[in-house]
């Protein structure tokens, strides 16, 4: 089997699955999965991606998650704290933060947003050049779309103050639904597997690999939240699939194997440090 180096811990990985033109690799050291595609292009992030393909996701934001984020920020910061949402999509989180009284809000995404009272930068984080530092950086369901996660974290560090709070939300490849998808693929049923390993998902973090990446880049873990998506935000049909997901949500909650993981972190090295462990 072909071997490459893990994007998270730099250990040797081996190809684990094939899916159409996608090759999926797994790291035996940190448990990280990542996907390689023949072509990785930003062209997939069109208005159709936001308004049609994932219309329920953007039309029905996860306000319970937003409340957790608000509570975490307000316990540590004032309402004029500078907050940057990396991969802000259509700005749902920033709208919510504005509604809650936060006044210095910034969003970064390829999606062209215009919301009064919020500053948006219409570009990729890899190309983002900014002299301003942010006391809070939030990234919700974005890092799994990033090819070079080490470069991503370098940018996060460049935008951080010595006391920056970092909040990362992504899918969890050690969740129950991922395990079920692999089992069904073994049986020849690939629908769920294709959904999770869609072309725009380049990295699939386990709880272990996400923690490793954050700590290796100089952030201290304050707490971990595991949760499932709201059913109304999931773009699935027919209705039977929604019922199946509802059952999976129940079972995953019982076994602490929810699909979504949220890490609340604090900066523990100076902004000029690489954050890498020796």
pLDDT in tens, 194-236: 888 888 889 999 999 999 999 999 999 999 999 998 777 776 6
Model confidence over 243-269: pLDDT tens digits? 777 888 899 999 999 999 999 999 976
Q: Which of 208, 227, 222, 113 is nearest to 163 (CA)?
A: 222
Judged on CB neighbours under 10 Å (0-12, 13-18, 19+), 53 is middle
Q: In what order do the strands lie in the sheet with 104-108?
A: 119-121, 104-108, 82-86, 134-140, 160-171, 260-267, 219-227
For residue 188, give both structure tokens: 């020849």
Whether the Cβ atoms of residue 33 and residue 26 lie closer than 8 Å to each other: yes
Give the residue carrying structure tokens 């069109």: 46
Backbone angles phi, psi at 203, to 5 degrees: -130, 140
Report the alpha-carbon distance of residue 238 to residue 264 in Å, rounded: 35
From the list 209, 215, 148, 129, the residue with the least C-alpha distance to 174 is: 209
Tens of pLDDT along the chain (278 residues) come to 566 899 999 999 988 888 777 889 999 999 999 988 765 556 566 666 666 566 666 667 899 999 999 999 999 999 999 999 999 998 999 999 999 999 999 999 988 888 999 999 999 898 899 989 999 999 999 999 999 999 999 999 999 999 999 999 999 999 999 999 999 988 998 888 888 888 888 999 999 999 999 999 999 999 999 999 877 777 665 566 677 778 888 999 999 999 999 999 999 764 444 444 43
Contact 204, 178 (CB under 8 A): yes
């Amino acid at each position: 089997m072909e071997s490459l180096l893990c994007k998270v811990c730099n250990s040797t990985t081996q190809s684990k699955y094939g899916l159409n033109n996608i090759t999926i690799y797994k790291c035996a050291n940190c448990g990280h999965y990542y996907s390689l595609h023949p072509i990785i292009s930003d062209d997939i992030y069109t208005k159709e991606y936001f308004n049609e393909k994932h219309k329920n996701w953007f039309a029905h934001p996860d306000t319970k998650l937003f409340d957790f984020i608000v509570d975490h920020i307000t316990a540590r910061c004032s309402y004029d704290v500078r907050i940057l949402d990396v991969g802000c999509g259509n700005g749902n989180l920033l709208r919510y933060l504005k509604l809650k009284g936060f006044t210095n809000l910034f969003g970064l995404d390829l999606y062209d947003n215009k919301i009064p009272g919020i500053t948006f930068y219409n570009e990729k984080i890899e190309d983002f050049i900014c002299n301003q530092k942010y006391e809070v950086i939030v990234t919700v369901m974005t890092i799994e779309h990033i090819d070079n996660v080490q470069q991503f974290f370098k940018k996060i560090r460049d935008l951080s103050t010595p006391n920056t709070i970092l909040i990362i939300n992504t899918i969890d490849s050690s969740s129950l639904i991922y395990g079920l998808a692999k089992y069904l693929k073994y049986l020849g049923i690939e629908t769920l597997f294709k959904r999770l390993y869609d072309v725009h998902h380049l990295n699939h973090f386990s709880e272990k690999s996400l923690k490793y990446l954050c700590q290796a880049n100089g952030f201290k873990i304050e707490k971990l939240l595991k949760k499932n998506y709201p059913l109304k935000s999931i773009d699935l049909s027919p209705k039977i699939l929604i019922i199946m997901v509802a059952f999976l949500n129940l079972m995953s909650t019982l076994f602490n194997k929810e699909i979504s993981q949220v890490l609340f972190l604090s900066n523990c090295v100076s902004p000029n440090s690489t954050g890498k462990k020796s």
